[in-house]
């Protein structure tokens, strides 16, 4: 069952991380882009988050308070550093994105609710791609962000629970970002 959760969380992150989108409610296919020379703003984002390790953004004690008792697992997903806590209560994924700003995620058809987490602006997407998910994105710079994906459990449809844990996680993460 853990493999299913990991696959669902990974696919959701991959789906939102790998496409650009507009947020006017009109479905449009993602576009591919070619690599370009980093601009000063993308370099600033890379520099600001270069030393941030996702698994250090939520401690074991904090994860336990969030209802997650699994050990964190560092992974690389879509080229970015991530950390996952997966157990019977669901899963939490934190992704540090040094080259993707908060406006670059594809949440076409989903409602993005603006929010502030510590000193960072961001937004929450309840039920992103599935009713048991909630995503939170923190805008670190114009070209860098931290994405938090909470899955309330494979058999759950409790979006409120997922958003509660994602929001609490975002507050913990924001407090540890540079």
Give the 3-state secondary structure of residue 93. Answer: strand
CATH code of the region 2-19+40-176: 3.40.1000
Q: Would the pLDDT of 84 be above 50?
A: yes
Exposed/middle/buried for 63, CB within 10 Å: 0-12, 13-18, 19+?
buried
CB atoms closer than 10 angstroms to residue 145? 27
pLDDT for 157: 81
Average pLDDT over the chain, rounded to whole? 78
Average pLDDT over residues 114-139: 92
In the block, tokens 């759950």 appear at 156
Q: Domains of the chain: which residue ranges?
A: 2-19+40-176
Q: What percent of the chain has pLDDT over 70?
A: 74
Q: How would residue 45 be classed by pLDDT, with cut points 50, 70 and 90?
A: low
């Amino acid at each position: 069952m853990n493999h299913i959760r990991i696959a669902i969380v990974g696919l959701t992150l991959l789906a939102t991380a790998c496409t650009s989108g507009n947020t006017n409610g009109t479905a449009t296919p993602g576009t591919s882009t070619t690599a370009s020379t980093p601009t000063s703003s993308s370099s600033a984002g890379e520099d600001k988050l270069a030393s941030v390790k996702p698994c250090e953004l939520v401690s074991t004690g904090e994860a336990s308070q969030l209802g997650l008792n699994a050990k964190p697992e560092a992974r690389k997903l879509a080229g970015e550093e991530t950390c996952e806590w997966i157990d019977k209560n669901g899963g939490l994924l934190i992704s540090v994105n040094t080259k993707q700003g908060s406006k670059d995620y594809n949440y076409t058809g989903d409602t993005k609710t603006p929010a502030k987490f510590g000193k960072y602006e961001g937004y929450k997407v309840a039920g992103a791609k599935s009713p048991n998910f909630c995503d939170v994105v923190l805008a670190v710079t114009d070209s860098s962000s931290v994405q938090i994906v909470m899955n309330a459990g494979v058999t759950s449809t409790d979006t409120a629970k997922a958003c509660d844990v994602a929001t609490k996680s975002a507050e913990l993460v924001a407090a540890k970002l540079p």
